[in-house]
Homo-oligomer: A and B are copies of this chain.
């Protein structure tokens, strides 16, 4: 399962958008464009046909606004038909109840239009990793294994800047770390920027929490291990 390409069906009524999605797909390794459907009913037919042909679809890129059915309805009908095909929702609509319904319908990712190629790629790569995770182990032996698999669907998000962090200091820390080729510890940042260790640590921790920095302990020296931080590429 994990070592063949992921067959993707694009469901999108606007031809230009559908072509754009298909083009984006082509730039990613591990994915194959397996067809395009312009409305809900033809999407369901295409899915059934793929199953009948012995080449089932693995993933649907589903626009939520379709001429005949709502994307959520299509998803529900897929579930009712017993399909476990994964779905990534694409929508311009940001209403809450849609998101709630999406979770219940087993939608794995949610893309808001308009999106850049980078965002698109990130979501799909994450999905690919999720499949690899599931495929690589024959059995999950612990709660932790399951949590890891679920976590691979999670996107690193930028948290809003919390109280206590100043814009300018944050910028300085980011600039410094972007220039480095090797990870820096909090005391090294302290030296370079002329700020206190406490302050440096506060900013580094925040950036690590939001996923902009990688954090890992530095072993080898006596004393408590020192965390080192690196700009994530």
Contact = CB atoms under 8 A, between A and B. Distances in A.
B217 A194 contact: no
A80 interface: yes
Nearest to A194: B219
A86 interface: yes
Interface residues of A, number: 66
A163 interface: no
Identify the interface centre among A150, A155, A169: most chain B CB within 10 Å of its CB.
A150
A103 interface: yes
A119 interface: yes
A193 to B, nearest CB: 7
A154 B152 CA distance: 8
A146 B96 contact: yes
Contacts of A76: 79-80, 82
A111 B143 contact: yes
A97 B84 CA distance: 10
A149 interface: yes
A108 B154 CA distance: 11
B195 A219 contact: yes
Given A144-B159, A146-B96, A84 B101 contact: yes
A59 B33 CA distance: 37
A134 interface: yes
A84 to B, nearest CB: 4
B138 A168 contact: no
B140 A99 contact: yes
A132 interface: no
A16 interface: no
Contacts of A109: 150
Nearest to A224: B166
A153 to B, nearest CB: 6
A135 to B, nearest CB: 8
A219 B183 CA distance: 23
